[in-house]
Structure formats: C-alpha cells, structure tokens
Structure 1
Amino acid sequence: MPDIIQLLPDNIANQIAAGEVIQRPASAVKELLENAVDASATEIKLIVTDAGKNLVQVVDNGKGMSETDARMAFERHATSKISNIEDLFKIKTMGFRGEALASIAAVAQVELKTRKTDEELGTCIEIENSIVKSQEPCATAAGTNICMKNLFFNVPARRNFLKSNAAELRHIVDEFIRVAMAFPHIFFSLTSNGQQVFHLEAGSLKHRILQILGTAYSAKLVNVREETDYMNIYGFVGKPDTAKKTRGDQYFFVNSRYIKSAYLNHAVMNAFDEMIAKDSFPMYVLFIDLDPSQVDINVHPTKQEIKFEDEKIVYAFVQAAVKHALAQFSIAPSLDFSLNADIQQMEAISKPANEDRLQSIASSNLFKTFTQKNQAHKIEGTNRSELKHWKDFYEPSSLELPSDLGSVTETGKLEQELEYSGYSLLKQGPQIRLLPDATLVQLHNTYIITPTSEGFLLIHQQQAHERILYERYIEAANGKQMPAQHSLFPSTIELNATDSVLMEELLPDLKVLGYLIEPFGNNTFVVQGTPADILQGNEKMVIELLLEQYKHFTSDIKFSKREKLVRCVAKQQAIKTGKAMAQKEMMVLKEELFRCQVPNVTPNGSPTYLEFKGDYLERMFGRQ
C-alpha cells in the first residue's frame, strides 16, 4: 500500500492554527490591541466596520517596525519576546508566542503600514491567505497602522458561524474594555461604522473606571491597596449597595493581563460575606502584580486562564485585602438598635398581663410542661370535634369549575408525577376541580391557598404570575403585539457603551413586548412607553435590571434571543414574594394561571403550585 501520511501545505496548517487563536473578530481585536500596547504606544485607535467582519483597523503611535521586522512579524512563531525556554516563565508583555499576526494573515486580507520614529519612510505590506502580495516603502505616520479585511474570506464555513453584527460588536466592546481598563495611562478610542463608541482620555485608574462603567460609581468606589514582598494588589471594589443580582462589572488583572478566575472571584465574594445578599454580586476592578515566574499564563490560547504556583496564598491575600479595604472605609454590617414602631402596638406591650391572665397562663398545659417535673414528653389528648371542619374542606363538592376554567391537563410535556411526603409536584396535571366561589387565603404574602374538591392547592404567587406573563409575552412575540402605554413625561436612560450596544440589538423585540424605546445619541435612550399593565415611574430601574438579566442569562438549553428576552421580562415583571394581595387580585391570578397552556410549571421548570390531597390530610390526623 502507498504511504498515506503527508505534510500539510503551509496555508492549510496556518488556517488550522488560526482556529485556536482567531475565533471571531473580537479575537483579532484583542491580539492587535495587545501588540499596540507592547509597542509602547500612548494613543491607540480601533476602527471596525460591520462588527469587524469587513474591517478591523488598529492605529497606534508606538515605536513601529523596520522593513525586515515587518515582514518577519507574519511568520509563525516569530517573536521578539522569547529567545530561550526560560524566557517563557518571566513574560511581562501581552503578546509573546508569535501566533497572532500569522493567524490573522491566514484567514483575512491584511495591510500593514509601519514606520520607526527615526526613519523617514515606512513599510507597506499586503498579505492574503498567508501569501505576501506586495511589499514596498511608503509614507506613513510613526507607529503602526494595521488593517484586517474580510475575516474568514477563504474559510466561508467559519464565517457562517459568526453571530449577528450586534452580537459580534458586543464581543469586540468586551475585549476593548479589558485592554483599556488595564492601561489607563494610554488613550483609547473605538469607532464602529463611523460612529465613535469610546473616547477614553489617559488618566488615573479611577478615572478610566468611571469612563467605562459610568459616573454612577463616582461616590461608590472603595480603594484597595496592599503591598508585600510576594505580591501587590490594588484597584477598587464597589460599596455593598452597588451589588447586582447578576454578575456584571467584575474585572481581575494579573500583571495587567485580564483573566477569568472563579477561584479568585470566590475570594472577593467571601470578603463581602454578610454585607450583600447571597444572590448578589459585587463590582470590582482588581490588579495583582507578582513575579512572572510565580504564574503560568501559557495554559490556554486566549491567555485568559492562568495558573498560580501557590494559588492558596493568592486567594488568602485577595480576600484579606478586600476585607481590609472595606473595614478602613467603615463599610461593615451594623446593628440596628432602634425599636420598630410596630412593636409598640403589639398586645404584649399595649395590654400588660393582669392577675386573671397570669392565673390562666399558669394553669395551661403548655406552662406545666415547662415548669413541672416529668412533663416534657406529655401529649395532651385531642378533642376530635375540633377537627370536624377539616373534612368539609376536602370532601367532594357539588360545585364544579366553569367550562372556561375546567380540567387542567398538560399534554406533550413531562410525563411524570413525583409524589413525596403526601403532596404531588404536578408534572402532568390530573383532573383538578377548583371551587370558583371559595375564599382564597394568602399565606406569608407568598402563597395562595385555594380549595379543590379533593383537598387544596398551594399556589406560589410569584412563580404562578411568571408563567402567566411568559405565555402572554410568547403570544405577543408570535405576532400579537402587546399594547403600550405612552408616557406623559418620557424618561431618559444613559447606559454604558456595552449596554448601549445590547439595547440597540434588543429594541425591535422590546417594541413587540410593549416597550417603546428610542435611541437619543451618545449611549442615551428615551423611554416613550411601557407595557399597558406595568406601573410607570421606575422605567430606568426596570430596563437596567432587564439588561443585566439578559446579559447573564444561563441555561443548559440554547434559547433564541427572543425566548431569552421573554423569559427575562416575565421573571422581572412577576409579582414578588412579600406583596400583600387583595381577594380579587388572588382570584384573577388563579383564574389566569389555569387558563395557561402549561399552568403547573414556570418556564424554567419550577412548580407554580402543589396539590395537597384529601387522603394525605386524613393520614396527617391519624384518620387512616
């Protein structure tokens, strides 16, 4: 048989290698920005067209390259950062493996213009599919100007996997922010399709944070700074009242390189223990500086995952530094010694015990079990007549549910009924006969008790309302647009650049759901109207929370953009636990729930109600 193993051509090998480094336009943006930083630039401009699919251009005023260096920069594994293996473990620059430009040239059309400050003429190189098309002297400004055009033009299958322009632009903005945040002493700008998205003047770290994350943090930042012989940590954390329900503004940098580390994030969360709610996440921008030999950054092509030689020391140091900073600024849980005014109205205060009441208490069985010997396990006989009304509660009734609220059966969904400790978690609803005229009871401002012909249902008001809203919004998303209520005084919302890009993407879908929002320029939007059944007055908070939920929507199932938005809106607008409801409100909620196609579970699968059956109630009281 003939030999079958052969060397791949250079252009194919380069395209395969490029797949690890350049996954989308944002990957190229990251590499080119880092190269500009390594070139000691003080001004870096990023220009993109069609979310980087047609053009990614980075212009810097760095030290530039000679004619030979410009040509060598596009060779695979050609780098000025490493000369021997020991250098790999003391890296202080952003790029070092010599793969970025070679990978970009393998999957795009590249034009490079560069000139050193001490030379009169620069060099212009055009490369396509890893092949140099031309190289000639040119007149250009000192520094480097590199254009990456038509990404994946020679790999159409890869290009088809790119997301929408809005989605890809969000990834570009994320990478831009991570580099710009790490180097506040450098001027950065980002222009997309001719519109300037960022204009970040050089300044302090705090100034850069406020430029990127918004001036709302101006009085909400706590300075963190600790220095030791082993490592230094500095940066800012947000005060506890800036914590959000979703992971938002959280940045970790090691030797000025952005990293993702659940381990270090846990250290910060521990430092905020008991200062914020368990389901909230603090804001932080933290920098760790330590000897490069103590950290391995070459464990992943994106260089965002690293390994520490002694991660336990780093964990303890981060946690202690954040705790110390919060303590210095007197930010800690406080005890409230003021007496609640409601306590003054309690019967124990307003009606002190008299002689007759004290004698009545002393003669009670409960008092005796605590004061007399050998009474701790005494169980008093129960008067069965006291339980006779329970039977009426779950005996079959002649009243039946009207036809429009009749039997509830879920079809084509989960075909399983889980019974545990006497109640049913209804995955496939059996015939439930509600008593339409029965009085409903709200328990702990969270649950609604409604009788049935065989027992009673315990409805969770928030999760039931979430199911109702979800089906209502799904119907709207499929063509029946929600009615909108125009605001008499439209409110203005100013977002950061990342959220502004996301808002632009969601505007058409939000309009379908009843939100009338228009762009007003400079990352500002005007809310002209909201869904008709939503109370007006807190539009800014509602929309900001909606964006946070959408950005960090997670699930094992891959949902469409509209499905994610519908789920977020339904969850956000649902009646919250702790809200007292009138009898009429509870009746409407119950009726609308059982008009739903799938009334027994929320969109994410949690139960909206539990059924307690009569036979279980019998067993509870020893009647079976």
Structure 2
Amino acid sequence: MPDIIQLLPDFVANQIAAGEVIQRPASAVKELLENAVDSGATEIKLIIKDAGKTLIQVIDNGSGMSETDARMCFERHATSKIKEAKDLFSIKTLGFRGEALASIAAIAQVELKSKKKGELTGTTITIEGSQIKEQQICNCPEGTTFIIKNLFFNVPARRNFLKSNAVETNHIIDEFLRVALTYPDISFSMYNNNADVYILTASSLRQRIISVFGNNYNQRIVPIEQQTDIVSISGFVGKPEFSKKTRGEQYLFVNNRFFKHPYLNHAIENAYEELMPSKSYAPYFIYFQINPQTIDVNIHPTKTEIKFQDEKIIYSLLRSAVKHALGKHSLTPSLDFEVEQSIANIQPLKKDAPIILPTISINPNYNPFKFENKSFSKNTNLNNKTNKENWEKLYPNEPIKNENINTDIPENKIIQKTFSPNWDNDTIYSDKQAVFQFKCTYILTQIKSGLLVINQQRASERILYDRYIKMLGNSKSFSQQLLFPQTIQLLQSDAIILKETIDLLNGVGFDINEFSADTFVVNGVPTDLMNDNIQNAIENIIHNYKQDLPKEVSEKRTRIAYAMAKNSSIKQGKQLQIEEMNSLIDNLFACQTPQSTPNGKTVFTIVETEEFERKLK
C-alpha cells in the first residue's frame, strides 16, 4: 500500500494560514498598518476602495527595505522582529511571526514598492497567489508602499462571506483607529473611495481622541494615572453622565498594542458602580506599560488576546486607578460628615458639676404578653371606603362580600386554623388565562399542555421585526414630523453606515437628510421613537446594524428591520401591565415564526404538566 501522507505545496499552506490570519479586508489593513509602525514611520496613509475588496493601499515613510528583504518578506516565517525562541517573551514590536505578508500574497494580487533611506533607487515586486510575477528596480520615495488588489480573488468562498461595503468599511475603520489611538505621535490619514475619512496630525493623546471622536469629548473625559513597580497605567476615562447604552469607545492597550480583556473590562465597570444606570457604558482609553516578560501575546492569530502573569493584581490596580480618577474630579459621591445642630450645641461637662440621673416613667402593671385588641373596633365593617379600596387593589377580580365580622378574640384561647380552599374551576380554566410577569423579564401563562414561558424582549423583537419588514415592503410609511428639526453629528464610521441605509430608514418612518460628511438633519421619526433621544436611538440602530448576524438577516433590508426592532423592543426589567402582556402574546402568535427571534434565539418555551408532576412526586 503506497504512502498517503505528503507535504502540502507552499501556496496551499499559505492559503490555509491566510484563513486564520486574514479573515476580511480589515485583517489585511491591520497587518499592513502594524508593519508601517514597526518600520519607524512618522506618516502613514491608508487608501481603500469598495471596502478594501478591490484595493487596499498603505504608504509609509519608514525605514524601507533592500532588494533582498523586499523578496524575503513574503516568505513564511521570515521576520526581522525576533531571532530565537526566547525573544517571544520580550516582544516590543507589533508583528513578529512572519506570517501576515505570506498569507496576504497567497490570496491577493500584491504590489510592493520600497526604498531604504539614503539609497538612490528602490525595488518593486508583483506577486499573485504566492507566485512572484515581476521584480525590478524602480524610482520611488523613501519608505514602503503596499498595494493589495482583489482580495480573495482565488478563494471565492471566502469572498462570498464578506458583509456589505458599509459593514466591512466599519471594520477597517476600527482597525485604523486602534493603531491611530496607540500612536498619537504618528500622523495618520485614511481615504475611502477617493474621499478623506480621517486626517490626523501628530499630537498629544487627548488631542488625538478629540480629533477622532469630536470636540465634545474634551469635556467628557478625565485623565487617569497610576505608577507602580508592576505596571504603569495612564490614559483617560469618561465621565459617568456621558455613558451610553452601547459599548462604543472602549479601548485597552498594553505596551502600545490594542487588546481585549473581559476581566479588566469588569474592573473598570466595577469602579463605576452606582455612578451610572444599569447596562450603561462609559468610554475609556487606558494604556498599560508592563515588563514584556510578564505577558503573553502569542496566544491568538490576531494578537488581541493577552495573558497577564499578575492578572488579579492588575485588576485591583486598574479598579483603584479608575476610582481615584473619578473621585479626584468629584465624579464619585463623597461622604457627608456635617455635624447635626443638636450635637453641635452640647456644652462640655465641668469637673465639679453635679450628676443628675434622668427620670423615667414606669408602669409596674404592664404585661407584654397580654393581648389587647386595638386593631379593630367591635363588629368592624370591612366594606368601608378605605378597606374596600385596599381589597380591590390586592384582589381586583374578587368582589367584597357585604358582611360584618366579629373581631372579638377571647384571651388565653388557642385558635386552630385550617385551610380548605374552594377553587372555582371555571375561573381557573377560563378562555382568557391569567398572565404573570416574573422578574420583569418573563411572561408566564397557562396553556393546555402546561406552562408557557415567554421572554418579553425577544417576543417584542420578533413582533417589531415582522412589522418593519412589512413596512419596508410597502411604498408608504408613517412618520411623526418633529416640531423643530434636529441636527445630529455622528462618528465617521457611523456616518458611512447611515449614508448607506438612509433610504431604508426613511422607509420605516424616519425623515433624515444628509447635511455634511458626518452631520444629518432629522425632520421626522417613527411613532415608536417619539419619546426617545433621537441621537441615541440612531446610534443604537447603527450599532445593531454593524453586528455580525446570521445569513437570514445579513441582507441590507433585513439588517435595518432587525436593528430597528432591537432598538425599539421592550427591554428586560420593564414592568408590564396585564393588558400589555396579553397584547404581546396575541401579537407574537400572529407572527409566522413566533418561536425564534430574527437572529435565531428562542422566544418561548413550554414546561409540560408532566414535568411539574415529576418534580412534585
């Protein structure tokens, strides 16, 4: 029998590696920007077209590469960042594996131009599907230019999984901002389809944050600073009053590298405890400087997951630093030690002053165990106005009987109380069953087979989604016009989404007009949003639209319907009236697919009667 195990060709191995490293255009942008930073560049320019699907170009003025290095950089595991295994534990550069460029070259058409400082000429290389097509001397500026065309041209299946241009552009902007916020001393610029998106000059960190997120951030953030032998913490945290319902501008960096860490996020949220409403999130930009030997960055292909050697200590120091920053700027409640007036007027005792004992009246005949009926007068009438109102509040469906109750209770007599309920079966099993709300999250009602338990938020999402889909299919929509049009300013990434979806939003009741690159005028809103903050509502809708969703709701129209439903749905924690719960149940089971939300989550479950009987044997 012949041998069946064989080595894969390099171009196949590179395509497999590309599946882990380059998942979408934003992944390629991240790798190229990090290489530009590692080259020592002071100016970096990013140009994209069609959300990076047809063109990604990164230009820097860094150290450049020689003719040999320009060719070697596309080989797998070829890098200038590390030389031996121990270097993995003292990494100070963003890249170090030598996989990114080889992976990009395997799935795209790549052109590289590079020239070292002080050299007269540079080198240009053209690669397609890991194959070098051309290499020659060229005249180009000092630094390096990478041009990536037709990403995933030879992996059509991967290309089919890409989202809309607006969503992919947003992912690119996220990667761009993570690098730009890490290095405020470097000038960055970004262009999308020949239109400038960001022009960021070298500046301080605070100015970089303001340049990216708007001038209003100058008043929204306060500095944070903590210096210890283990770690140095610096940056800015947002004031609690400017919190949002979405996790927007929250950034953590360690040794000039962006990373994600739910445990440390919890430390920050814990520091804000009781300063913000539930499920609200403040912005923060926090930077850690730590000994590279105490962290591990080589645990995920994207290098955004990091392990800390002293994780619990970092948690405590971070929480303390945030609380201190908020307290220093009077953003945390302080204890009030004002002395009461009655205490302040007490005169000090004199040495020779006589001691006078206080007089206390005592009833020697008082018996604490003797019952005295003072709660009711004899033959109290429970049908008087006050008692009747209280009865009706507690038992709205039970009529009060007009009878007098003798409340005389003989002393020293033990009353044996027995409970014999006399259920009215017609009431319990009526056509309209009783409904109950549990923990302001679930609606419970009896059905023939047992107990129906409904998640109120998910049920509301399903109902609203179907309604918005129907509205988008009709030519007419109903909009509640505002008395005074409202102008809103969005982040560049959000503005791109709104421009792409403005016609669809206007189709579900909005009346929005574009005013400038990032500013819009809202003339009308859907009736569901009349009482909402319009800016927050639109930001929430855009946030929901950008999420990675199942294929069933990945198309633009269904995305908008889902985003609107998610924003306007009845939230967990909201107390509902009986009429509201009954209406929700009726509307839910009028939907074609009431059992699941648009993104596939379960809306309700049924606890069978047999389950109760089994548990209560």
Same fold (TM over 0.5): yes
Q: Give the C-alpha shift of residue 10 in structure 1.
A: 1.2
TM-score, length of structure 1 as denominator length: 0.74
Q: Give the C-alpha shift of residue 44 in structure 1.
A: 0.3
Match of residue 431 from structure 2: 431
Match of residue 373 from structure 1: 369
Greater CA drift, 590-599 or 249-258: 590-599
Match of residue 505 from structure 2: 510
Which of 456, 471, 485 in structure 2 is aligned with 1:476? 471
Change (3 A) 1:110 1:601: closer
Partners of 1:545 and 1:467 lie apart in 2 by 18
1:393 aligns with 2:397: yes
Q: Give the C-alpha shift of residue 489 in structure 1.
A: 4.4
Match of residue 280 from structure 2: 280
Counterparts in 2 of 1:40-51, with a 5 A limit?
A: 40-51=40-51
Letter in 1 for 2:494: D
Match of residue 407 from structure 1: none
Q: Is contact 1:113–1:125 with CA below 8 Å preserved after alignment?
A: yes
Partners of 1:184 and 1:579 lie apart in 2 by 43
Counterparts in 2 of 1:82-93, with a 5 A limit?
A: 82-93=82-93
Q: Give the C-alpha shift of residue 484 in structure 1.
A: 2.2
Q: Give the C-alpha shift of residue 276 in structure 1.
A: 1.5
Partners of 1:446 and 1:130 lie apart in 2 by 54
Q: Give the C-alpha shift of residue 507 in structure 1.
A: 2.0
Q: Give the C-alpha shift of residue 3 in structure 1.
A: 1.3
1:495 aligns with 2:486: no
Letter in 2 for 1:276: M
Match of residue 101 from structure 1: 101
Letter in 1 for 2:291: D
Partners of 1:76 and 1:392 lie apart in 2 by 76
Partners of 2:588 and 2:226 lie apart in 1 by 58
Match of residue 192 from structure 1: 192
Q: Give the C-alpha shift of residue 557 in structure 1.
A: 9.4
1:305 aligns with 2:305: yes
Partners of 1:154 and 1:580 lie apart in 2 by 54
Q: What secondary structure, in the 3-state scheme, does the structure 1 residue paired with 2:587 have?
A: coil
Q: Is contact 1:41–1:61 with CA below 8 Å preserved after alignment?
A: yes
Query: What are the Cα deviations for residues 340-371 of structure 1, in whole angstroms up to 9, with x where unaligned?
Result: xxxxxxxxxxxxxxxxxxxxxxxxxxxxxxx9
Partners of 1:460 and 1:163 lie apart in 2 by 30
Q: Is contact 1:44–1:60 with CA below 8 Å preserved after alignment?
A: yes
Q: Give the C-alpha shift of residue 209 in structure 1.
A: 0.9
Change (3 A) 1:534 1:602: farther
Match of residue 418 from structure 1: none
Partners of 1:489 and 1:246 lie apart in 2 by 27
Q: Is contact 2:553–2:559 with CA below 8 Å preserved after alignment?
A: no
Partners of 1:477 and 1:168 lie apart in 2 by 24
Partners of 1:392 and 1:87 lie apart in 2 by 75
Q: What secondary structure, in the 3-state scheme, does the structure 2 residue paired with 1:8 have?
A: coil
Match of residue 68 from structure 1: 68
Match of residue 325 from structure 2: 325
Partners of 1:205 and 1:594 lie apart in 2 by 52
Partners of 1:92 and 1:373 lie apart in 2 by 79
Letter in 2 for 1:175: E
Query: What are the Cα deviations for residues 199-235 of structure 1, in whole angstroms up to 9, with x where unaligned?
Result: 1111011111112222222111110111122211100
Change (3 A) 1:192 1:382: farther
Match of residue 232 from structure 1: 232
Partners of 1:327 and 1:532 lie apart in 2 by 41
Q: Is contact 2:65–2:114 with CA below 8 Å preserved after alignment?
A: yes
Partners of 2:308 and 2:532 lie apart in 1 by 49
Letter in 2 for 1:596: N
Query: What are the Cα deviations for residues 27-77 of structure 1, in whole angstroms up to 9, with x where unaligned?
Result: 000000000000111110000011111110000111111111111111111
Q: Is contact 2:462–2:596 with CA below 8 Å preserved after alignment?
A: yes
Q: Give the C-alpha shift of residue 247 in structure 1.
A: 1.4
Listed as ranges, the gaps of 5+ residues in structure 1 are 339-370, 396-421, 423-428, 435-444, 449-458, 608-624
Partners of 1:325 and 1:85 lie apart in 2 by 40
Change (3 A) 1:54 1:595: same
Query: What are the Cα deviations for residues 448-470 of structure 1, in whole angstroms up to 9, with x where unaligned?
Result: 9xxxxxxxxxx999999877655
Letter in 2 for 1:530: V
Partners of 1:4 and 1:273 lie apart in 2 by 61
Q: What secondary structure, in the 3-state scheme, does the structure 2 residue paired with 1:64 have?
A: coil
Greater CA drift, 541-550 or 523-532: 541-550
Partners of 2:335 and 2:211 lie apart in 1 by 36
Q: Give the C-alpha shift of residue 291 in structure 1.
A: 0.8
Counterparts in 2 of 1:168-247, with a 5 A limit?
A: 168-247=168-247
Change (3 A) 1:574 1:167: closer
Q: Is contact 1:22–1:28 with CA below 8 Å preserved after alignment?
A: yes
Match of residue 256 from structure 2: 256
Match of residue 347 from structure 2: none
Query: What are the Cα deviations for residues 554-576 of structure 1, in whole angstroms up to 9, with x where unaligned?
Result: 89997765555435534644689
Q: Give the C-alpha shift of residue 312 in structure 1.
A: 1.2
Partners of 1:262 and 1:570 lie apart in 2 by 27
Greater CA drift, 243-252 or 37-46: 243-252
Partners of 2:578 and 2:110 lie apart in 1 by 66
Match of residue 59 from structure 2: 59
1:521 aligns with 2:516: yes
1:598 aligns with 2:589: yes
Query: What are the Cα deviations for residues 563-597 of structure 1, in whole angstroms up to 9, with x where unaligned?
Result: 5543553464468999999xxxx999689657625
Partners of 2:155 and 2:51 lie apart in 1 by 18
Counterparts in 2 of 1:435-446, with a 5 A limit?
A: none
Match of residue 130 from structure 2: 130
Q: Is contact 2:480–2:530 with CA below 8 Å preserved after alignment?
A: no
Q: Is contact 1:553–1:564 with CA below 8 Å preserved after alignment?
A: no
Partners of 1:46 and 1:186 lie apart in 2 by 13
Letter in 2 for 1:393: N
Letter in 2 for 1:543: I
Change (3 A) 1:308 1:140: same
Change (3 A) 1:7 1:477: same
Q: What secondary structure, in the 3-state scheme, does the structure 1 residue paired with 2:31 have?
A: helix
Listed as ranges, the gaps of 5+ residues in structure 2 are 339-366, 400-422, 424-428, 435-439, 444-453, 605-617
Change (3 A) 1:487 1:87: same
Partners of 2:430 and 2:251 lie apart in 1 by 50
Letter in 1 for 2:491: N
Q: Give the C-alpha shift of residue 473 in structure 1.
A: 2.6
> Please, what is the CA RMSD of the aligned residues?
4.3
Match of residue 364 from structure 2: none
Q: Give the C-alpha shift of residue 120 in structure 1.
A: 1.0
Q: Is contact 1:246–1:549 with CA below 8 Å preserved after alignment?
A: no
Letter in 2 for 1:506: T
Change (3 A) 1:68 1:332: same
Partners of 1:597 and 1:224 lie apart in 2 by 48
Q: What secondary structure, in the 3-state scheme, does the structure 2 residue paired with 1:208 have?
A: helix
Partners of 1:330 and 1:61 lie apart in 2 by 44
Q: Is contact 1:466–1:602 with CA below 8 Å preserved after alignment?
A: no
Q: Give the C-alpha shift of residue 375 in structure 1.
A: 6.0
Partners of 2:203 and 2:175 lie apart in 1 by 20
Q: Give the C-alpha shift of residue 316 in structure 1.
A: 1.3
Greater CA drift, 311-320 or 589-598: 589-598
1:546 aligns with 2:578: no
How many residue pairs get matched? Answer: 523
Q: Give the C-alpha shift of residue 21 in structure 1.
A: 0.8
Match of residue 28 from structure 1: 28
Partners of 1:195 and 1:308 lie apart in 2 by 41
Letter in 1 for 2:397: F
